[in-house]
Amino acid sequence: CLFSQTIKGAAINVNKNSLVSGNIIQNCSGIGIVLTGGNITFTDNSLNVTGYGVLAEGNIADVEIELNVIDSSDQHSIHLARTSRYDFPHDFIIQNNTLYSNAEEAIYMDEESLKIAISGIKQMNEEQQKAFINEILDILLNFLLQLLHMRQV
């Protein structure tokens, strides 16, 4: 999967009145999803991209982004940007997503963006991801050692 960050190409372009669900995008060089209209539900997707995970620019409204796993390397997992003084994303619900990003913020939005509700976000940078994986591996190792000990007794 190869798309340029500068030409606004994406693995999936979503128009108004759409449901985007159950997609898996892996090893994509570029943007995962571009929202080009309103009244969109983006749920239960898995993205592994080098660009923005989800990009919405301009007057995009009534969007729900929930229950997704978005790994966007060094870019924002969700990027909401204005295109002019009066055109900016608004009326978004962003909830219960797992976001992996080494950017300063996993979710970026211009100050003018209105009515953006964000909740239940799990955000991890690369260092936190490694620590989490090491913690899981330690738990598994201890469990296996206990099983081995029980078999020997």
Q: Is the pTM of this model over 0.85?
A: no
Which tens digits make up the pLDDT trace of 71-110? 998 799 999 998 988 888 888 999 999 998 888 888 888 7
In this prediction, residue 65 carries a pLDDT of 95
User: What is the biggest distance separating any 2 CA atoms in the chain, rounded to whole angstroms?
Assistant: 73
- DSSP class of 30: S
CA gap 132, 148 in Å, rounded: 24
Q: What is the CA radius of gyration of the chain?
A: 18
- CA geometry: angle 52, 58, 61, nearest 5 deg: 95
**Higher pLDDT pick, 67 / 125:** 67
